[in-house]
A and B are shown apart, each in its own frame.
Chain A
Amino acid sequence: MSTASLTDRIGSFSRGEQVATAGVGLLAAVLLVGVVVGWITVTYLLYLVALAGMYVLLSMGLNVQWGYGGLINFSVAAFFGVGAYGSALLTADSSPVAGGFSPVVGLVAGLLVAAVLAVIIGIPTLQLRDDYLAIASLGLAEVVRMIVLNEREITAGSAGLTGIPLFFADWPVLGSLEYPFVLYVGDTALFTMERSLLIAELNVLLVVVFIAVVYLFLRRIHLSPWGRVLRTIRTDEDLAKSLGKDTYRFKMQAFVIGSVIMALAGVFYTHLVLYLNPQDLAPVLTFYVWIAVILGGSGSDRGAIFGGFTIIALQQGTRFLNAAGTIPVDPAALRLMIVGVLIIAIVRVRQEGILPPEKELIWPGSTEGSADE
């Protein structure tokens, strides 16, 4: 029986997987046509992919907190902002405090500050019922945004930060490439690439590496006894306590890991758009990420990835429709309406999301013996 169910699983996709595959295929086809017809340049397309990658990171971060452990965090934008500003303030030319450091230093600093902030918020709230974290984090998001907006001596306030370097600006080969990049064979130029295109490609590569590292890390902790305790906490925290688990420790770890991943998204964003202002920390970001996680499937890592891409498709899709002049309404309002409809649709039709987590998550290799029966 077990062999049959295994082949079934590999051989045929679940309904959610069919929907996801169809959606991704359709989107890819539209974009491909868009590029061929000339609606969209390759450089811009790559920029969008990088931006989607940022949402994927944010969604994976929130998924650790909400999807694994049931922690309600409404300050995604705050941790994103801490990463973004942390790195920007250390690296930007216009930084009022200490610009000019390597982006790698900015990365480390951004993640560290996010981890410390998560611990500070976690200490008073994670010992209490779930609702307290939700309320405290809602406040935190606004506090961080207000500090960034008003402490001009430190953050440059609403003027924003400019002169942020590319992430790989000071790397050995990549930083010193000449633009446009031309590949010669003998005297003939075999291949020429514009600066912007090369940068876009490198950014996509960078975010893919970030996502891959985070995904592999999360996959391992999710399938482990650690992840299992968090799933138990999500169902019933008292139950986990009664089985001897120090739930406070587990929740704190999940909260910190998730927050650090959100900060990583912030660091990447900073060095992608090269300009940062307090608007980037607006609460709407938090809610987009929540939708991505719920749509993808709470507790599912690949669901988070799918959700992240969906958000970008949604944001940019409405923008394109508007540019094409086909809709008579404001795209920003339309976007929020679509988001609302989407939430209602998920709750009514498919509560577990498009790609829900597998039914059983056990450390790989430990069930081999039982499968042989």
Chain B
Amino acid sequence: MSNVTQGAVLGKDDPVLRTDGLKKSFGGLTATDDVSFEVERGTITGLIGPNGAGKSTLFNLVSGFYEPDEGSVSVNGTDVTDHEPHEIVGEGMVRTFQTPRKPEGMSVREAMLVGPQGQTGESILPLFTSSSTVRREERQSLERAEEMLERFEIADLATQSATDLSGGQMKLVELARAMMSDPDLLLLDEPVAGVNPVLAQKLAGFIEELHAEGQSFLIIEHDMSFIMRLADPIIVLNQGSVLVEGPPDAVRSDDRVVDAYLGGPA
């Protein structure tokens, strides 16, 4: 058990995300208590912990959906504490949601086109003054969207209405769309929750492929076999703070982790 550290491993070589002493309380409940951790560039870092450990709160804190009471968050070395969610995306970190809502009245490829950042056509004036630029960008984005859908083996869904997708297919579209925004770090919130085992295997394969190409991930997941297969290192949260960090095999058999999950003496 020697390679499991008490608390998170800090001082990594090239952290893409780093938090320092994050704290967040809701009324009397401290959901996140002094959390410092780092995500090394190029890794798939797993974030696990029993229900109520504060994983989702932590995700909301780093992605700008909650404001921390104390502490700081930085992405690519830039301090993004108290920044708006869209500004944090601008720094290179994109998140997905546990239960994605299906965009009404949109086709799948249309929903994909929301992903790319800095689109000229998202401002009103250029729609009238430089419509050819908008058209060119739209063509490029569409091409990329179709490539991305092919890569995730859902190209046949491109022109289907997004509301007709199954939950699992929607998760794939979410991942594909998040990739359209060229993130440095992708935060996935339970990517296989409610997904059938076959599709979950597929999804794990896609994540591994992207990882092999250099994509960094931070993944929350309850499905232990899924996260243990993909992630290294794994950070374990318990009662709002980081319990341990280490490689999957070591974490799995660590007494402190077992106790936390089984509710033994902390």
Contacts and interface: CB of A to CB of B under 8 A. Distances in A.
Interface of A: 2, 220-221, 224-226, 228-229, 231-232, 234-236, 238-247, 250, 253, 299, 356-357, 359-367, 369-370
A231 B103 CA distance: 8
Interface string B99-134: 011111111011101110101111110011001001
A356 B131 CA distance: 26
22 contacts: A221-B127, A224-B121, A224-B134, A225-B113, A226-B121, A226-B124, A226-B127, A231-B106, A232-B111, A239-B97, A239-B100, A242-B85, A242-B96, A243-B89, A243-B94, A243-B114, A245-B114, A356-B105, A360-B107, A360-B159, A362-B113, A363-B121
B143 A246 contact: no
Contacts of A239: 97, 100-101, 103
Contacts of B84: 241, 246
Given A229-B114, A239-B100, 6 more contacts: A224-B122, A224-B127, A239-B103, A241-B85, A242-B94, A244-B94
Given A231-B103, A299-B105, A245 B161 contact: no
Contacts of A253: 124
Contact of B65 (A2, A238, A299): A238
Contacts of A224: 121-122, 127, 134
A169 B137 CA distance: 46
Nearest to B132: A365
Nearest to A366: B138
Contact of A226 (B96, B123, B142, B159): B123
B54 to A, nearest CB: 19
B106 A360 contact: yes
Nearest to B137: A225
Nearest to B122: A225
Contacts of B137: 225
A271 B169 CA distance: 55
B89 A362 contact: no
Given A229-B114, A236-B101, A365 B122 contact: no
Contacts of B111: 232
A236 B97 CA distance: 11
B135 A244 contact: no
B214 interface: no
Contact of B89 (A2, A232, A242, A361): A242
